[in-house]
Structure 1
Amino acid sequence: MRLNMIRPAFHILSASGAFYAIMINDTFNWLGVLHNLRVLTIWNLWILFLFFLLSAIYDIILRLTKSSPRFFREILSDSFNTFVFPVSLFINIVFVGVFFLDGNVLQDWFADWHNQLRYTVPMALVVIERYITYHPYLNVRSHLIALLVMTAVYQVIVMLMRSMRGSWAYLFLDSYLLNSRMVFFLAMMPILCFIYFVGSQLNHKIWGKRKRMPAYNR
């Protein structure tokens, strides 16, 4: 019952925070669709905004009708497990990796509080969501296929924009230290899959004793 009271406020605040982070992002451009799609941080913020917005709508429907739309609930859980959780944590892992290549990144990260909204806050939000909402892993094969497709689409857009603009989406991709481009492209999917399965284990650890309860409505 306590969680049912916390969720609506949390989802509304999270959606608002994600949208604000999009608006203040200096790389975001309403008219530059491909330009926006080459930046994984913007992908993540839009994914977060849509997920938390739909979650807030679901909370409102649940309160008004006292029923649980199963299809809506399953879409939310599948989206969270497949995209929201893995991508948010992946971006932070990449940031840590870039820090080892460029020590100035950490200094810049602390100097600009906007970076907290782009990286730290999204990771914190999805971890909190994992603890306050049960999202079952019911379609693992479909989740992994969707994750593979998203990764492939993103990488194709990055390479397409590189050929059109003559520059990579991130400065660290221009570095030849440890062949960062090859590492990024080859490691992206394995890392996302690893985070996906970590999320699955974390989900089981948190909600294992309550897994027979309805997937979202608790």
Structure 2
Amino acid sequence: MKMLRNIFHLASSLSFLVSFWYDQGLDIPPLQWKGDTFMRGRLKFLTIWDLLLQGFFFAICLLNDFIGTNENVPKRIPLIRKIKDLILASLAFPLANFVALTFWGLYLVDRELIFPKALDPYFPTWLNHVMHTNIAVFILIELFTSFRKYPSRKQGIGILVAFMAVYLVWIHIIHSYTGMWVYPILEVLNLPLRIVFFAVLLGFTIALYILGERLNGLVWRKQLKDLKKA
């Protein structure tokens, strides 16, 4: 089990970080905006932020395998383990599922709103699935195979909301700089509808945090009881 966990963490981290590196080398004319200096244009996408987050998260998991601990109820919790648990709870789980569900949901409704057909000749199918499918699958495997203690809901949701607020500011900076919205769907929404859109997405992200918290509680019910007794 220990060896399999190590391999999983190594493979997951490499798959996400190498995919990020591969993506930055792609020549995708539909994404190359005039005057765009933001890493070939793709750092404007939450998908890329999440891809990097997942890569570093699983690298931290791998580091924890060797210098931390994966014990359910350790006598002393190393700092690397605390960081690992906090990142999964507050960012890695909700963001991975948010990106996967919103991408494929919009894709099924109208793919032109999220991933136009014009990208198909330039963007490999396997890379699309690494970014929008594997992220959710891998984080679920991690939740089911490694125990973690969730932070207080106030702390976890606070970190998540702060992250999403930073990204929201970022896409408005890009809009101000380029005159274009990051996602085509924002082009067809007026200001009031954009506010509602962002509010709904934020609420959905918070709901995914609570889902992860509840799911963790169901999967690791016994271990959490033991932790409270310790």
**TM-score scaled by structure 1?**
0.83
Asked if residue 127 in structure 1 is aligned to residue 140 in structure 2, the reply is yes
Aligned to 1:85: 93
Note the C-alpha offset of 1:202.
0.6
Note the C-alpha offset of 1:62.
4.4
Distance change >3 Å, CA 8–CA 138, structure 1 → 2: same
Asked if residue 56 in structure 1 is aligned to residue 69 in structure 2, the reply is no
Distance in 2 between residues matched to 1:113 and 1:34, nearest whole Å: 20
- Contact 1:22–1:45, Cα closer than 8 Å, also in 2: yes
Matches within 5 A, 1:26-37: 26=26, 32=38, 35-37=41-43
Note the C-alpha offset of 1:119.
0.5
Aligned to 1:15: 13
Quick one: which amino acid aligns to residue 84 of structure 2?
A: L
Describe the superposition over 1:153-186 as per-residue Cα deviations: whole angstroms up to 9, x where unpaired.
1001101100101111122222349x86344312
- Contact 1:62–1:68, Cα closer than 8 Å, also in 2: no
Asked if residue 73 in structure 1 is aligned to residue 86 in structure 2, the reply is no
Distance in 2 between residues matched to 1:213 and 1:42, nearest whole Å: 38
Structure 2: gaps of 5 or more residues: none
Distance change >3 Å, CA 207–CA 8, structure 1 → 2: same
Structure 1: gaps of 5 or more residues: none
- Please, which of 206, 209, 213 is the counterpart of residue 200 of structure 1? 213
Distance in 1 between residues matched to 2:197 and 2:206, nearest whole Å: 14
Quick one: which amino acid aligns to residue 76 of structure 1?
A: K
Distance in 2 between residues matched to 1:76 and 1:34, nearest whole Å: 30
Distance change >3 Å, CA 106–CA 171, structure 1 → 2: closer
4+ residue segments displaced more than 6 Å: 106-111
- Alpha carbon RMSD of aligned pairs, Å? 3.2
Distance change >3 Å, CA 72–CA 17, structure 1 → 2: same
Distance in 1 between residues matched to 2:213 and 2:164, nearest whole Å: 19
Matches within 5 A, 1:1-218: 2=1, 4-25=2-23, 26=26, 32=38, 35-62=41-68, 69-103=77-111, 105=115, 112-176=125-189, 181-212=194-225
Distance in 1 between residues matched to 2:129 and 2:200, nearest whole Å: 25
Note the C-alpha offset of 1:209.
1.4
- Contact 2:68–2:81, Cα closer than 8 Å, also in 1: no
Worse overlay, 16-25 or 123-132: 16-25
User: Identity over the aligned pairs, expressed in percent?
Assistant: 24
- Contact 2:9–2:59, Cα closer than 8 Å, also in 1: yes
Residue-pair matches, total:
209
Partner SS state of residue 47, structure 1: helix
Note the C-alpha offset of 1:13.
0.4
Worse overlay, 102-111 or 116-125: 102-111
Distance change >3 Å, CA 90–CA 180, structure 1 → 2: farther
Quick one: which amino acid aligns to residue 102 of structure 2?
A: V
